[in-house]
């Protein structure tokens, strides 16, 4: 089996830790751009990517049966082209659970403990012990997208004695949540009752602008919104207006409609907004965790086993 990786992501770990039973069964080629791989793509059985594939590169690989993306999101991949060619797509769902749940808790703590203001005071040599701080204790967090990451956030939130509402498609109760809801009625309940709202939805045709201006109006004026999903799951302009008008207290945003976030965006200069550059899923252990999925799926492809994280190309996740 010939595997061609097309990504600027560092795959040294994946190459160097290839299990012994696979050494003689696969040829692994890693290129940082599709242009560099033109000579080997015609012979590729598998393409590994970090979330994007140039459609032209896929056309150069007529024998590809499987694409493994090292990202969880697949919205930047040519899903229709993959479906038309009956190419199996698998993703790295599950590798973000630890770091993204930790990051979520850190953002909530950053907000209630006013660490941004404390840092600003330090830089100005200001000693102000009169600052008033909030707590996570007793607050309600609503998690929109109650999958594996959402469950991990919920478990960590319970350690701070928070109440947790989760929204999923089925409304089926989940052990980590105090309440599980679904549908528009459930979303209304979650938004109106939560002190913190965390967006963890995949980006699909069904979730674009999932959170609208009308939904934002349901939030408490004291609420804090965290978006670690994709920029297009929320009406960004409506969010900016709501923040400027005090319709909600603040937001932490790791994803945006346009990335990098343009310097002209008012979000950069807003005191009640925490901006991070799409790094919630970053971790020193990322490649190690993703590699375990790749190795499993290589064996499954070679031996006819069940592959992990097969994406429904019609649904987009």
Tokens of 115: 């660490």
Nearest to 53 by CA among 74, 72, 36, 39: 74
Q: Measuring CA to CA, how many Å separate 85 from each of 24, 58, 89, 196?
A: 28, 10, 11, 43
Task: Report phi then psi at 200, rounded to 5.
Answer: -135, 30
Cβ-Cβ contacts under 8 Å for 213 (sequence gap 6 or more): 235, 238, 241, 242
Q: Which residues are catalytic?
A: 230, 259, 278
The CA distance from 111 to 105, in Å, is 10
Separation of alpha carbons 266 and 99, rounded Å = 28
Among the listed residues 74, 106, 99, 111, the one whose alpha carbon sits nearest the alpha carbon of residue 230: 74
């Amino acid at each position: 089996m010939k595997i061609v990786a097309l990504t600027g992501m560092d795959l040294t770990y994946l190459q160097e830790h290839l299990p012994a039973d696979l050494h003689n069964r696969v040829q692994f080629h890693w290129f940082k751009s599709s242009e560099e791989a033109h000579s080997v793509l015609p012979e590729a059985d598998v393409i590994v990517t970090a979330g994007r594939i140039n459609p032209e590169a896929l056309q150069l690989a007529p024998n590809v049966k499987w694409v493994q993306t090292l990202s969880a999101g697949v919205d930047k991949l040519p899903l229709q082209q993959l479906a038309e060619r009956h190419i199996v797509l698998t993703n790295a769902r599950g590798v973000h659970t630890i770091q993204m749940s930790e990051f979520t808790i850190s953002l909530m703590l950053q907000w209630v403990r006013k660490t941004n203001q404390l840092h600003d005071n330090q830089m100005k040599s200001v000693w102000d012990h009169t600052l008033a701080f909030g707590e996570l204790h007793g607050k309600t967090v609503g998690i929109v997208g109650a999958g594996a990451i959402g469950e991990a956030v919920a478990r960590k939130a319970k350690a701070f004695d928070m109440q947790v509402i989760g929204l999923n498609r089925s409304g089926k109760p989940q052990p980590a949540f105090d309440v599980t809801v679904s549908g528009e009625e459930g979303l209304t309940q979650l938004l109106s009752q939560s002190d913190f709202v965390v967006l963890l939805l995949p980006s699909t045709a069904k979730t674009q602008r999932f959170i609208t201006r009308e939904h934002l109006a349901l939030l408490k004026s004291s609420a804090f919104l965290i978006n670690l999903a994709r920029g297009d799951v929320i009406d960004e302009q409506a969010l900016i207006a709501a923040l400027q008008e005090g319709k909600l207290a603040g937001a932490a945003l790791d994803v945006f409609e346009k990335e990098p976030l343009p310097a002209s965006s008012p979000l950069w200069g807003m005191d009640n907004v925490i901006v991070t550059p799409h790094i919630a899923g970053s971790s020193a252990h990322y490649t190690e965790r993703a590699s375990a999925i790749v190795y499993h799926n290589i064996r499954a492809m070679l031996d006819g086993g069940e592959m992990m994280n097969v994406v429904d190309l019609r649904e987009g996740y």
